[in-house]
């Protein structure tokens, strides 16, 4: 109504002003667009593209071919294995935590505390998780010394595994479980208690509700969260870098080696090829995630 009334006054003038206002308004998007192009699009293109070029700037398939090298394949295998294992453990334990949290008052102090703690451990841990585990399970760690002095159990009887692949499992689970709580809790809260009541009035049992209604409805969300956990484990660098200061057992650490020592496997620009391989894996997983998530969103309205 107001638009019609005001346009009566001077049609041509206000239309002209609006058009010029619109063309100016586009300018407001420019700073952000330039920023994102320079610091998100350009680095991604450079990271992925540099794998196709030798150090003298000529095009080469050499680095990409290195992705088929047994050493590189093994690190990708290690990364996939570590991410899959910790994602599954994290998803199952995290889902149980969410299930238990249904009993908490959604606005209560306990719930707020758990949410905040989950956020800290899932998103900001990084190097600090590594230090916590060194303090706990390092050679001088509190738990290590307790087990050794009090119970006579030496967890490092077969060598110090904390700084190698097996040592990464517990710290990774340590951030995967809270990540699951953050991503899965909204779906579980969206499960309607009315469905449970309908099930009960129709003669169903509590176990029957979870088997026939709860779990099928939640399955897509669970799968989506599992994929997100896998991607987060696969891309995580800080915890592993702080624990394993040498070696390149997983892909991010191999990228570190390629970035800092220039030649790995006798190739330059291998970091670019590894980055490409990594972004392919994470990209496919995140694409699947968005597909499953769309399916999961059906029940969350």
Partner 1 sequence: MNRLAPSRLTRWIIGALVAAFFLIPLGSTLLYTFQMPDGSATLAHWTSLADPESAAKLRPVWTGLTNSFVLAVVTVTIVLFVLAPTMILVNLRFPRVKALFEFVALLPISIPAIVLVVGLAPIYLSIARSIGTGSWTLAFAYGITVLPFAYRSIQASIDAADLKTLSEAARSLGAGWPTVVLHVLAPNIRQGLLAGSLLSIAVVLGEFTIASLLNRDVFQTSMLVVSKQDPYLPAIFTLLALTLCFVLLLIIGRVGRGIRKAQP
**CB closer to partner 1 out of 220 and 252:** 252
**CB closer to partner 1 out of 58 and 260:** 260
**CB closer to partner 1 out of 223 and 257:** 257
**CB closer to partner 1 out of 137 and 223:** 137
Smallest distance, partner 1 to C-beta of residue 157, A: 19
**CB closer to partner 1 out of 226 and 242:** 242
Smallest distance, partner 1 to C-beta of residue 82, A: 14
Residues 222, 95: contact at Cβ < 8 Å?
yes
Distance CA 214, CA 168 (A): 33
Question: Nearest Cα to 52, choosing from 254, 279, 272?
Answer: 272
Smallest distance, partner 1 to C-beta of residue 300, A: 15
Smallest distance, partner 1 to C-beta of residue 1, A: 12
Smallest distance, partner 1 to C-beta of residue 16, A: 17
Burial class (CB in 10 A: 0-12, 13-18, 19+), 39: exposed
- CA 269 to chain centroid: 26
Distance CA 133, CA 143 (A): 10
Question: Nearest Cα to 237, choosing from 122, 89, 127, 134?
Answer: 127
Burial class (CB in 10 A: 0-12, 13-18, 19+), 277: buried
Smallest distance, partner 1 to C-beta of residue 114, A: 9
Distance CA 297, CA 91 (A): 19
**CB closer to partner 1 out of 8 and 149:** 149
């Amino acid at each position: 109504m107001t638009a019609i009334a005001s346009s009566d006054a001077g049609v041509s003038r206000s239309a002209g002003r609006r058009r010029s206002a619109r063309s100016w308004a586009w300018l407001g998007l420019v700073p952000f667009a330039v920023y994102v192009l320079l610091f998100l699009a350009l680095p991604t293109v450079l990271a992925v593209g540099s794998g196709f070029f030798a150090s003298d700037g000529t095009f080469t398939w050499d680095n990409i071919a290195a992705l088929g090298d047994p050493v590189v394949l093994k690190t990708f295998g290690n990364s996939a294995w570590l991410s899959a294992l910790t994602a599954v453990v994290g998803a199952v334990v995290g889902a149980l935590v969410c299930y238990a949290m249904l009993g908490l008052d959604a606005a209560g102090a306990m719930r707020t505390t758990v949410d905040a703690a989950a956020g800290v451990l899932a998103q900001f841990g990084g190097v600090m998780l590594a230090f916590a585990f060194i303090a706990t399970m390092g050679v001088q760690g509190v738990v290590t010394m307790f087990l050794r002095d009090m119970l006579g159990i030496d967890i490092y009887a077969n060598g110090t595994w904390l700084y190698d692949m097996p040592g990464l499992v517990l710290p990774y689970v340590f951030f995967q479980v809270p990540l699951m709580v953050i991503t899965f809790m909204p779906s579980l809260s969206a499960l309607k208690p009315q469905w449970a009541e309908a099930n009960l009035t129709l003669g169903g049992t509590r176990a029957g509700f979870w088997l026939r209604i709860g779990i099928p409805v939640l399955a897509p969300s669970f799968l989506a969260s599992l994929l997100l956990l896998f991607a987060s484990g696969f891309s995580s660098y800080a915890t592993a870098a702080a624990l394993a200061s040498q070696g390149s057992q997983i892909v991010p650490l191999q990228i570190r080696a390629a970035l800092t020592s220039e030649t790995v496997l006798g190739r330059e620009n291998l970091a670019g090829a590894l980055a490409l391989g990594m972004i392919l894996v994470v990209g496919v997983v995140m694409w699947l995630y968005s597909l499953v998530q769309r399916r999961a969103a059906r029940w969350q309205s």
